Amino acid sequence: MILGIVTFAVAQVAGGGLGYVLGGMAGAAIGFPAAGMLWVLVDRVQALRVINWLRRDGGRTLPIRRGQWGEIASRVSRLLRNREQLNAESQARLHEFLEAIRESPNGVVLLDAQGHIEWCNQTAARHFAFDAERDLMQLIGNLVRDPAFAAHYASRAPAREIVIQGPDSSPSRPVRLAVQLHPYGAGRRMLLSRDVTMVEQAETMRRDFVANVSHEIRTPLTVLAGFIETLQNLPLEAADRARYLEMMATQSQRMQTLVNDLLTLSRLEGSPPPGTRDWVRVQPLLAQCETDGRALSRLLAVPPHDLQVDPAPDVEIAGIQAELLSAMFNLLSNAVRYTPPGRTIRVRWTVLTDGRHEYAVQDNGPGIAPEHLPRLTERFYRVDRSRSRETGGTGLGLAIVKHVVQRHGGELRIDSTPGRGSTFSMVFPTSRVRPVLAAAA
């Protein structure tokens, strides 16, 4: 402001002086206002240049570098650069925030006041089977049709978590989602989702485990207590006493087997996986399984099963012999227990096309429905509880097999068709199997 006044005064004095030199007092009278008007004209032109520069959102090149308008342009340019820097930092923080939400393990859906989808991350798209681009601005009620969610959304109640069934859920692969609505902004709401399938399965397994252990131990204890009371209070013949003692021994053995299996599971879960220093030949393992399997079949089935054991290659596997034998015989004993007498059970050790080795037990039993397959390796889970107890099973065999296979770097596969039988197989990686001749050389 002061600079403008000073330059205006200097221009008038210079104009008046020049007019006086050229035309005396008359020239000074003309030169003085003419210089002021010229200064105003130049000032307006500079102002227009600055205004046009601002209308173009400013730029790195200043329209004027001197005078008061040059100073104004310089200060405005500095302010614009600061604003751009702040905007860039805000955009970067927003981008980082959105990236964090986008990569969140929980689903996030932003809804407007009418319930349209404004944005969602990939986790939410996977949870609700959305298309992250196509379904934008679609009504959430048209895409999530679960009655519990519809009631929760319509209630507008304070945020509380509900559990619904996922759109991709099936009897063999259930999917459970915990969803929660949070209000924010002007009528908007944020929908959060997380997959709680494993949590619910773990809770179900925990409840089943406690209930089954209690039941499995209570039943033989009740029988033992009854027999002991009978032996204490009633005079019995020698034959009856011997029969009761035999039943008591059977129930005691049943509890001992259960406790041993529980201890085996605990040991497998608490010990480190076996290394590759100890190698076990496969052929003796198969021979032992065949011997024990035929003995169990003669004990449980009349006529015995047709047990076919294919010749195995002369290879050895890195691991613990007792664990491998236990897992292999568990699969064979299950086949013996659940296959009707006289039918065929086939045991084979084969090399797969990718070089891995597979131990498989194929039976001709009743088969297993698809909804039971995901839970077969849970502790105490039984498809037919009465049948399992009749054959002496504890419900822990497949859980032990799964842990043994995983400890040896392999995987347990189950393929079953109701009415046509089942195939249980253990697949071991190539790093844990080698030919015996090569090892000896």
Q: 293 and 423: one domain?
A: yes
Whether residue 214 sits in one domain with residue 169: no
Same domain? 287 vs 402: yes
Provide the token pair at 229.
């009371």
Number of domains in the chain: 4
Query: Of 156, 171, 195, which residue sits at a domain end?
Result: 195
- Contact of 191 with 124, CB cutoff 8 Å: yes
Strand 279-281 relative to strand 188-195: parallel, antiparallel, unpaired?
unpaired
Residue found under tokens 């299996």: 261
Containing domain of residue 368, as a range?
Answer: 279-440
Give the Cα separation of 212 and 219 in Å (integer): 11
Tell me, what's the pLDDT at 205?
73
**Same domain assignment for residues 302 and 385:** yes
- Assess whether 154 and 140 both reside in one domain: yes
Taking the CA atoms of 47, 53, 59 and 64 in sequence, report the sign of the dihedral they define.
negative
CATH number of domain containing 330: 3.30.565.10
CB of 340 closer than 8 Å to CB of 348: no
Q: What is the pLDDT of residue 3?
A: 60
373 with 309, same domain: the answer is yes
| Statement to judge: residues 358 and 375 lie in one domain | yes
Contact 84, 103 (CB under 8 A): no
Q: In 345-382, which positions are buried (b, 16+ CB within 10 angstroms) versus exposed (e)?
A: bbbbbeeeeeebbbbbbbbbbbbbeeebbebbbbbbbb
Q: Are residues 116 and 89 in the same domain?
A: no
Q: Packing angle between helix 321-338 and helix 397-407, nearest 10 degrees?
A: 140
Residues 340 and 370 in one domain: yes
* pLDDT at 251 (0 to 100): 80
pLDDT, one tens digit for every residue, the chain (441 residues) = 566 566 656 655 665 566 556 666 666 666 656 666 766 676 677 677 767 766 776 566 666 666 666 667 677 777 877 887 888 888 888 777 777 777 788 888 888 888 898 888 888 888 888 887 788 888 888 888 888 888 888 876 666 788 888 887 777 678 888 888 888 878 888 888 888 888 887 777 777 777 777 777 777 788 788 878 877 787 877 888 888 788 888 788 778 877 877 777 777 777 778 888 889 999 999 999 999 999 888 888 888 899 999 998 899 999 999 889 989 999 998 899 889 998 999 999 999 999 999 999 999 888 888 888 887 887 777 776 554 455 556 678 888 889 899 989 999 999 988 888 999 999 999 999 999 865 554
Give the pLDDT of residue 21: 60
Say yes or no: 332 and 258 in one domain.
no
